[in-house]
């Protein structure tokens, strides 16, 4: 049974999350504060938005204009929960981050400059002056594991933790299909050509609002040439000599684990929600 369900709760009371730029306020009891208590605090509130239900209780988001200091509390980044939090908690926090980012980025109309207004019962920001509407943004992107015989291609960015390698990824550009994006990004990032693309699955990725479309592909030709400023290192790895890999909850790790399971004749792992 899912502990977290998104939606538009209308009940009073319940819980609230205080959020600022992919970080959450927490105390010794966790991240969820009694909503009415949090309302009584002197918070620089940008917006309040209903999120859904956690263990049957309504949850609202308090999007703050700046981080605040509160006795016994600290700020914790979303990535801290990628490794340790259970799945439903991370799904709730990831969803809250995406909604908070959307609220922050659409306070004012991009057409006339007027102040946007939230729409009751719908996830939409509306400009009363020129009728412009903005829904939460999703940015489609591809992520691909490339194989060559038994070897897999993994790369790292300088932003990664030391020693960690992952699959290649990139955002879809206007006018191209996701498959075209795979070919273009692989060519740009490592100078290779690939073939036999196989769609595997997708995952919402709240850093900050991506929809990752996962693929397996086979190497066709070319030598590895890392893209300057984007790829710090890329190389072929054998399955028995893999580097530090991405967290198990990520679709990048799932693409790797799926290939390894199929190669060994094991059941397919389950893609995390």
Positions at the binding site for a divalent metal cation: 169, 185, 189, 230
Inter-CA distances, 42 with 67, 69, 70, 77, 107, Å:
12, 11, 10, 22, 21
In sequence order, the β-bridge partners of residue 219 are: 194
Do 50 and 57 form a contact (C-beta atoms < 8 A)? no
Closest CA to 135 of 110, 103, 111: 103
Sign of CA dihedral 267, 248, 272, 236: negative
Annotated binding site: 79, 109, 112, 122, 127, 130, 135, 169, 185, 189, 203-210, 230
Nearest CA to 90 out of 4, 30, 188, 211 is that of 4
Give the dihedral sign, CA 171/91/244/30: positive
Exposed/middle/buried for 162, CB within 10 Å: 0-12, 13-18, 19+?
exposed
CA–CA distance, 197 with 199 (Å, rounded to integer)? 7
**C-alpha angle 270-272-273 in degrees, rounded to nearest 5:** 125
Q: Residues annotated in the binding site for substrate, as ranges?
A: 79, 122, 135, 203-210
CA distance 183 to 192: 9
For the annotated binding site for Zn(2+), the residues are 109, 112, 127, 130
């Amino acid at each position: 049974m899912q502990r977290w369900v998104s939606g538009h709760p209308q009940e009073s009371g319940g819980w609230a999350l205080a959020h600022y730029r992919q970080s959450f306020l927490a105390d010794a009891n966790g991240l969820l504060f009694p909503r009415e208590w949090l309302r009584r605090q002197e918070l620089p509130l940008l917006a309040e938005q209903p999120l859904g239900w956690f263990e049957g209780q309504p949850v609202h988001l308090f999007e703050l204009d700046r981080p605040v200091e509160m006795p016994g509390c600290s700020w914790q980044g979303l990535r801290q929960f990628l490794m340790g939090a259970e799945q439903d908690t991370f799904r709730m926090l990831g969803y809250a981050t995406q909604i908070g980012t959307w609220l922050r980025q659409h306070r004012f109309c991009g057409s006339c400059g007027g102040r946007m207004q939230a729409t009751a019962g719908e996830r939409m920001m509306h400009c009363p002056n020129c009728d412009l509407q903005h829904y939460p943004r999703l940015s489609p992107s591809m992520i691909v594991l490339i194989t060559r015989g038994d070897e897999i291609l993994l790369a790292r960015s300088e932003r990664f933790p030391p020693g960690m390698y992952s699959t290649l990824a990139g955002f879809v550009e206007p006018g191209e299909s996701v498959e075209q994006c795979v070919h273009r990004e692989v060519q740009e990032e490592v100078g290779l050509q690939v073939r036999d693309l196989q769609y595997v699955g997708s995952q919402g990725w709240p850093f900050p609002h991506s929809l990752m479309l996962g693929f397996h592909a086979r190497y066709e030709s070319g030598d590895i040439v890392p893209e300057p400023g984007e790829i710090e290192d890329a190389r072929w790895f054998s399955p028995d000599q893999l580097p530090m890999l991405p967290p198990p909850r990520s679709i990048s790790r799932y693409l790797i684990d799926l290939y390894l399971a199929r190669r060994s004749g094991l059941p397919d792992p389950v893609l995390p929600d």
